[in-house]
Chain A
Amino acid sequence: MEYFIELFFSGLTRGSIYALIALGYTMVYGIIQLINFAHGEIYMIGAFTALIVTGVLTYYGWPHLAIILIAAVLAIFYSAAYGWTMERIAYKPLRDAPRLSALISAIGASLFLQNYVLLAQTSDFLPFPSLISDFAFLDPVSNLFGTTDFLIYTTTGVVMALLTFLIKFTRVGKAMRATAQDRHMAMLVGIDVNRIISITFIIGSATAAIGGVLIASHVGQINFFIGFIAGIKAFVAAVLGGIGSLPGAVLGSLVLGWTEAFFTGYVSSDYEDVCAFVILVIILIFRPSGLLGRSGVQKV
């Protein structure tokens, strides 16, 4: 039973990280129906920015708390900037092109960003310093989950709540929903669609960066390739939950996180990644609209 609970929390940690990435995936897909293949790379860039800022500030001997805050803020800022730039270059000119063109362009962007980081920072796993000291009040449960796990759960919860609020109750959120429903109609009623899409990319990228910082401090090492597999899994999670739906992305992520945790815990750790892909194939074949998605009717 103890093992089960341990796996439960490790699954929750995984799922929460997937959720932070999946939210961006699902928002972008919801608004322009593009599988933003390079989304995982944005998350990776967030982690790298955090690492670099931490390294520099540690070198100059800044206090830990300041380092953490500055690193997180800069990571979020830079990821958002990369997301925005990428959208401008690789996706915006293809707004009216066939969907596959945009997808191929996204694959190109992903390939570019990966190799850009590879060339600039080598392919080695770089150690990520642990700056966050353990919270004393978590001591009684420390055998179940650690401080970073706790931070991951709470951050994911807060981000999720903020995004839901943003989309449900703000002007921008309303404009996003309108754009997602019918881009041309939204344009006709005076919504600056390009701006709304840019904002979506910025928010999605920032969310991914939060995930990047958290996972980097949780796992303790990063390299240029972490974005790819995380991106794919987050995509699986988004599809599992019903792509385009925010609660769906979180639910899908948690389900995927737990499935992986229990699978590796009880069955075999060799096929951990196969697990995600098998789920993807099965869900797309039997319920392409996902757990919480609505099945759309094709317009003719």
Chain B
Amino acid sequence: MQPILEIRNLCMDFGGLRAIDTLDLHIGQGEIVALIGPNGAGKTTVFNCLTGIYKPSGGEMLARSPKTGEARRLNGLKPNQVTENGLARTFQNIRLFGSMTVLENIMIGRHCRTSAGISGAIVRNRATREEEKRIVQDSYDVLKKIGLARYVNEYAKNLPYGAQRRLEIARAMATDPFLLLLDEPAAGMNPQETDELNELIIGIREEAGITIFLIEHDMKLVMSLSDRIYVVDYGKKIAEGRPEEIKRNPAVIKAYLGEEVDA
């Protein structure tokens, strides 16, 4: 089967600093793939290149929708176009719309799948009303799926930390992606929240059939969750493989020296 995401020779330079160095990577439909590496290894930069926030200095990024089988080059797309193409992301430092309610946050996620414009908003014709109803309904469904329904009318900024992380995932889910990019979803979570997150991510894959690409520092979570793992250090890929292979890989152990690999 053809991969749904393919990165070839990706490079990213900041001034004289090479943050990503000829990275190759591919992800198949339905996989859970983790990208790990020490702090500052360039993991988030990979995400930022993929989602159009940075313009890579070189290389190719291709996304293939599993529904249509159509391949699309991601280079040069704006962040919103990347999302329209079915890749949605979360942020390492939570970036919710704080003074909007939880439901409204999700409704923003539905924006790119709906179409009502200014005139529709003013006249509020039948089509607009129906669409608005659908947006609310769909958003609520997403909330239920992610287990946030009880917070529906809370302001996002008032949510407990773990729920805010989940809301980020829910908001990304609302854009109907086929590939979900999670940037350190477990950061700052307690063990119980991390376990729940583990279940949630597996649930997203099993039920919604969404492929997951995540950056994570929590090795326990990474090892139990991932089908495959890529390890980067100083922008270079130093290893790839299944969790057990990665655990034994000497290069990885060296890169992580001082950090526990299999905690």
Give the interface of A toward B (CB within 8 A): 297-298, 300
Contact = CB atoms under 8 A, between A and B. Distances in A.
Contacts of B91: 300
Contacts of B14: 297
Nearest to A295: B15
Interface of B: 14, 44, 48, 53-54, 91
Contacts of B44: 300
Contacts of A298: 53
7 contacts: A297-B14, A297-B54, A298-B53, A300-B44, A300-B48, A300-B53, A300-B91
A133 B54 CA distance: 60
B263 to A, nearest CB: 28
Nearest to B19: A297
Contacts of B53: 298, 300
Nearest to B47: A300
Contacts of A297: 14, 54
Nearest to A297: B14
A300 B44 CA distance: 9
A42 B53 CA distance: 40
A298 B44 CA distance: 13
Which 7 pairs across A and B sit closest by C-beta, in order of nearness?
A: A300-B53, A300-B48, A297-B14, A300-B91, A298-B53, A300-B44, A297-B54
Nearest to B92: A300
A172 B7 CA distance: 48
Contacts of A300: 44, 48, 53, 91
Contacts of B54: 297
A297 B53 CA distance: 10
Nearest to A298: B53
A207 to B, nearest CB: 31
B151 to A, nearest CB: 25
B187 to A, nearest CB: 15
Nearest to B51: A300
A297 B14 CA distance: 8
Contacts of B48: 300
A298 B53 CA distance: 9
A300 B48 CA distance: 8
A70 B91 CA distance: 58
A298 B14 CA distance: 11
A298 B48 CA distance: 11
A300 B54 CA distance: 10
A200 B48 CA distance: 35
A101 to B, nearest CB: 14
A297 B48 CA distance: 12
B252 to A, nearest CB: 26
A228 B53 CA distance: 38
Nearest to B95: A300
A297 B15 CA distance: 10
A300 B184 CA distance: 13
